[in-house]
Amino acid sequence: MKIISHTAQIQAGCFDIGMAIDVAENALRLYNSGEIHFPDKVSQIFNQEEQTRINCLPATIIPQKICGMKWVAVFPPNPQRFGCPNLNASILLSEIESGYPIAFLDGTLCSDLRTAAVSAVAAKHLANPESGTIGFLGSGEQAKMHLLAMCHVFPALKHCKVASRNPDSEVKFVKQMKMLLPDIEIEMCDSDYEKAARGSDIVITAISAQLPLLKAAWLKSGVYYNHVGGWEDEYAVPKSADKIVCDDWNSVKHRTQTISRLYQKGELSDGDIYADLHEIVAGQKKGRENADEKIYFNPVGLSYVDVALAKAIYDKVDSFRLSDQCGELEFNKTSVFDTLPENVIL
């Protein structure tokens, strides 16, 4: 079993948003055709107010004969409290012929790429194709990853507005993203969320908030709104949308996001959800049908996309033969009783 570090993944070129988008879209098609096992996740929430939690998310990609599990910790207070990211993840992959593990990966890059990649796949089908301005509420890792993903999908994007609770975070966002996207004009909004949202063709909240920060009055006709985290927008935002799309509504409805809360209050029904993303990707339902539609996308995270992407990362690292960056663990494949020394103490 290979133990694949974050460093090995970066050195092998796995920080590849285009690869992640392709893998995510293919995984959605496989799921739609019944070629993926997707059990319910197990979530342990330690603080309801802060939503600190650790999730266990399994999935199996049948055509690739791979089963995986993502173990992800989400601790929203981390940046302010400890100066570290709010998310970390590990991924275990096993082949399903003999059932032995083949890899243990640092899953943080995979998880970050997957979140943005699924949003980009959704945007391909749901946002105006000529979108030129994108607005972010939040300026952390997911905001940065989403900007890379959206620019990959929409070459016409030329203007980015960003607002953060922490002004220093806006400065860091601009500095880092200008190096990666020198042709994009990035405007700091000095913590003014309205300024970031108004006039934007694409609006993304990536702020891990539990407050209704985004207001419906700020959103223009034809906007594509991508809700990444928790409770980040007022109820009027989904209520004013022409279409609400989820990555998986059955998973979303039991969570704590805005539309989850509306559903639990009885103010939103199953019939109010237009589609799950895999139905649109597979062509069973239409995406955007006119330039004036306001479309609301709410992902919750699909472990089968993580597993598919982790397998792609494993293959890419393996092809680079980065033995100096990958540890290895050999599993005992005989009975434990066959390997006991004669003087063992039980």
Position 277, amino acid: L
Residue 316: count of CB within 10 angstroms of its CB:
17
pTM of the predicted structure, to 2 decimals: 0.90
Phi, psi of 136 (to 5 degrees): -115, 130
Nearest to 111 by CA among 66, 57, 50, 164: 57
Ramachandran area for residue 101 (φ above 0: left; ψ -120 to 50: alpha; else beta):
beta
pLDDT tens string 239-281: 999 999 999 999 898 888 999 999 999 999 999 999 999 999 9
pLDDT at 307: 97
What is the pLDDT, as a whole number, of residue 194? Answer: 97
pLDDT the model gives residue 166: 87
The amino acid sitting at 194 is E
Is the backbone of residue 88 left (phi > 0), alpha (psi -120 to 50) or beta? beta
Report helix, strand and coil shares of the chain as percent, to nearest 5: 35, 25, 40
List, for the chain, all residue ranges whose pLDDT scores fall below the cut of 50: 337
Enter the DSSP assignment of 39: P
CB 273 within 8 A of CB 244: yes
Q: How far apart are CA 86 and CA 80, in angstroms?
A: 9
| Size (the chain), residues | 346
pLDDT of amino acid 336: 60
Residues 4 and 313: beta-carbon distance below 8 Å: yes
Q: What is the 3-state secondary structure (H, E, C) of 211-236?
A: EEEECHHHCCCCCEEEECCCEEECCH
**Among 343, 332, 237, 308, which residue's Cα sits nearest to residue 65?**
308
Question: Which residue is it, tokens 């237009």?
Answer: 274
What are the pLDDT digits (tens) for 295-343? 999 998 899 999 999 999 999 998 876 655 677 767 666 666 465 567 7
Beta strands in 133-214 (DSSP E): 133-137, 159-163, 185-188, 202-205, 210-214
Cα–Cα distance between 48 and 46 in angstroms, integer?
7
